[in-house]
Amino acid sequence: MDNHCKSQIANRKLKLFGFGIWNLGFLFLLLFILFGVGCQRSKAGITVAGSTSVEPFAELLAEEYMSHHPQSHIYVQGGGSTAGIEAVITRAANIGMSSRLLTGQEKHLYSVTIARDAIAIIINPKNPIQDLSLDQIRQVFSGKIKSWKELGGVSHPIVLVTREEGSGTREAFQKFVMGKEDISLEALVQDSNGAVRQVVASNHNAIGYISLGLVNDQVKALKISGVEPNLADIENGKYTLVRPFLFVFNEEPVGEAKSFLEFVLSPLAQKLLLKEGLVPVLPKIAQE
């Protein structure tokens, strides 16, 4: 009886011991995984962060770059132009993406224009309007023109769609179109190019503005005083709603960041951007 009892206790101890070993093993495994992941990240990775307008294009470029340089890794994050520039200043990111020009204190940073992007004024394809002047667009967005009828369309109220305060696209629209006028407070506010496009695509009376590269057949890009937003007219300066896409660095880039920047400015990458609807910075490619 006594013996039996003792062996049972021993058995239990063994079990406990075994359990402990397992736990320890598991813990080590977890540590290894974490450590491994950490190592991989720090091996040859650079972080690119900033404007959500530039982000999809940067992701594309990063993928292409990584397929040529399998040993390196580029992490692309969104967050917005301002956040990206701040990340570069605090060195949380190696490269910042900005869809607006640098202002104030930011100007001492090293920036390179990697492409240019036109802003398209979009309406629903069911809307018969084809062409508006800048002045008309300004009056529409400031809330002075309230019905499509005043612009030669059907008698429906205009539904304005704009981007949120701080967005690079909004800033560019404000500068190019609105000037000193405010965008009406009646306007619906969406927080991405895609969301603006979705609202305009589903509402016959809506008007909004997005990156030309993101216009698809769900929406219609308006001519502005007869000028269509296409590459030729952007290149020769007739279509004026054009803003730069910048890569921002703390100082002149070296190493991996330099190599990525060189790739982005190479004909191969610029052709890729052209295919996606951006205006390349290499004039030769634009003409091809």
Partner 1 sequence: MQVKEKMIEKLFLLIALSSITILALITFFIFEEGLPLILKIGPKAFLLGERWIPSKGLFGIFPMITSSFWVTLGALILGIPLGLACTIFLSELIPPSIGILLRPAIQLLAAIPSVIYGFWGLIVLVPLIQNYLGGPGLSILAGSLVLSFMILPTIITISEDSLKALPPSYKAGALALGATHWQTIWRVLIPAAKSGIVASVILGMGRAIGETMAMIMILGNAVKMPTSFLDSARTLTTNIGIEMGYASGDHRQALFATGIVLFFIIMALNILAIFLSRRRVD
Number of residues interacting with partner 1: please give it, by CB under 8 A.
Answer: 28
The correct pick among 97, 132, 177, 187 for binding partner 1 (CB under 8 A) is 187
Find the shortest distance in angstroms from Cβ 160 to partner 1: 9
Binding to partner 1 in span 193-222, by CB under 8 A: 198-199, 202-203, 206
By CB under 8 A, residue 262 contacts partner 1 = no
The correct pick among 47, 82, 111, 211 for binding partner 1 (CB under 8 A) is 82
By CB under 8 A, residue 190 contacts partner 1 = yes
The correct pick among 74, 78, 212, 245 for binding partner 1 (CB under 8 A) is 78
Cα-based distances in Å from 99 to 96, 114, 150, 224, 273: 10, 10, 33, 22, 15
By CB under 8 A, residue 182 contacts partner 1 = yes
According to DSSP, the β-strands at 95-98 and 110-123 are unpaired
Contact stretch for partner 1 (CB under 8 A) within 10-18, 116-124, 178-186, 252-260: 178-186
Neighbours of 237 (CB within 10 A): 8
Is 19 buried (19+), middle (13-18) or exposed (0-12) by CB count in 10 A? exposed
The correct pick among 63, 135, 191, 252 for binding partner 1 (CB under 8 A) is 191
Contact stretch for partner 1 (CB under 8 A) within 129-137, 188-196, 223-231, 261-269: 188-196
Tokens standing for residue 280 = 């390349």
Nearer to partner 1, 51 or 94 (CB): 51
Nearer to partner 1, 87 or 278 (CB): 87
Nearer to partner 1, 136 or 169 (CB): 169
Binding to partner 1 in span 85-114, by CB under 8 A: 86
Binding to partner 1 in span 148-177, by CB under 8 A: 159, 164-168, 174
Tokens standing for residue 130 = 């084809």
Binding to partner 1 in span 11-70, by CB under 8 A: 52
Task: List residues near partner 1 by CB under 8 A.
Answer: 52, 78-83, 86, 159, 164-168, 174, 182, 185-191, 198-199, 202-203, 206
